Amino acid sequence: MAPDLDALDDGGKLVAAVAAILLMGGVAALPTEGVYGIHALANDEGAVGRLRGLKGSSRTGFIGLLAEPDELWHWGSPEPKAVELARRYWPGALTLVVPAHPSIPASLRAEDGTVALRCPGSAFLRAVVKEAKGIVLSTSANLPGQPPAIRAEDIPPKTADITVDAGPLSGIPSTLVRVQNGTVEVLRKGAVTLGDAALDDPSEAP
C-alpha cells in the first residue's frame, strides 16, 4: 500500500517544497510504493547525473512517474494489453515497460528503445509530479548491490537535497511488467500480482 502522507503534507506545503527543489535542479528522496526512492526531473541533466552517480554511471533508463494515467500516451507507445493493465492498476504499484514515444527524454529511454512508466498509488507523489510540471524520474535510494531503503535513515548520506520521512515502508517494490509485441512479461514481482493470463481476475497483494 502506498504511504499516506496527508498528516505530513500541511495543506500542500510539503508538495510545494519538494516540487520547488526538483524545479531548481535538485534531487528528492521520497517514499514510493514500498521503498524509498530518489527523484529528479527528467529534463535536468545535472540532476539526472546525480542519480546516475548513485546507481552507476552506465545506467540508462529510469522509471518515469506520471501525474495521471492518461499521460501514458505522452511518453510511451503502449499496446492494447498495456493499456488494459494501466486502466486496471493505475494509480497503483505497477510499473509498465512499453515502447518509448519518440519525444521521450533520453534519461528515460532504455537501450532497447523502451520506457518504464508508473502512475503511483501515492496521491502525494502524483501531486509532486503535477506541481513540478514535468515527468519525474525515480530509482531506488540504495547503492548498487545493497538492500532497498525501507527507512529514511537507510538512504545514503548526502544523496538528496530534501528527504520526506514517512516512517518504515513495506519493502515490497512495484511490480515491473514489460508489454511488447503482444507479450506480457513480469520482470520483477512486487506489490501487484497478475493472473495467469495477465489480465484474468488479478489480485493485489497486501
Q: 6 or 9: which carries more pLDDT confidence? A: 9
Residue 109 lies in a domain: yes
- Model confidence over 150-203: pLDDT tens digits? 999 999 988 999 999 999 999 999 999 999 888 899 999 999 988 644 444 444
Question: Which pLDDT belongs to residue 6?
Answer: 55
Question: Which pLDDT belongs to residue 202?
Answer: 40
DSSP one-letter string for 55-103: H-TT----EEE-SSGGGHHHHB---HHHHHHHHHH-SSSEEEEEEBPTT
Residue 2 lies in a domain: no
- Residue 193 amino acid letter: T
Question: Which pLDDT belongs to residue 2?
Answer: 46
Residue 1 lies in a domain: no
- DSSP-assigned beta bridge partners for residue 152: none
Residue 80 lies in a domain: yes
Q: Model confidence at 107, in pLDDT bands (50, 70, 90)?
A: confident
Cα dihedral 37→38→41→46 (10° resolution): -160
Question: Which pLDDT belongs to residue 1?
Answer: 45
Question: Which pLDDT belongs to residue 37?
Answer: 94
Residue 155 lies in a domain: yes
Angle between helices 13-23 and 123-132 (to 10 degrees): 50
- Model confidence over 16-74: pLDDT tens digits? 999 999 999 999 999 998 999 999 999 898 999 888 888 775 555 689 999 999 999 98
Question: Which pLDDT belongs to residue 25?
Answer: 95
Write the CATH number for 29: 3.90.870.10
| Tally of domains in the chain | 1
Grid coordinates representing 64 are 518515469
Residue 5 lies in a domain: no
- Residue 119 amino acid letter: C
Which of 5-19, 85-99, 106-120 shows the highest mean pLDDT?
85-99
Identify the domain containing residue 21 by its residue range: 13-204
Question: Which pLDDT belongs to residue 61?
Answer: 64
Residue 3 lies in a domain: no
Per DSSP, the three-state class of 127 is: helix
Question: Which pLDDT belongs to residue 26?
Answer: 96
Residue 43 lies in a domain: yes
Indicate whether 115 pLDDT > 80: yes
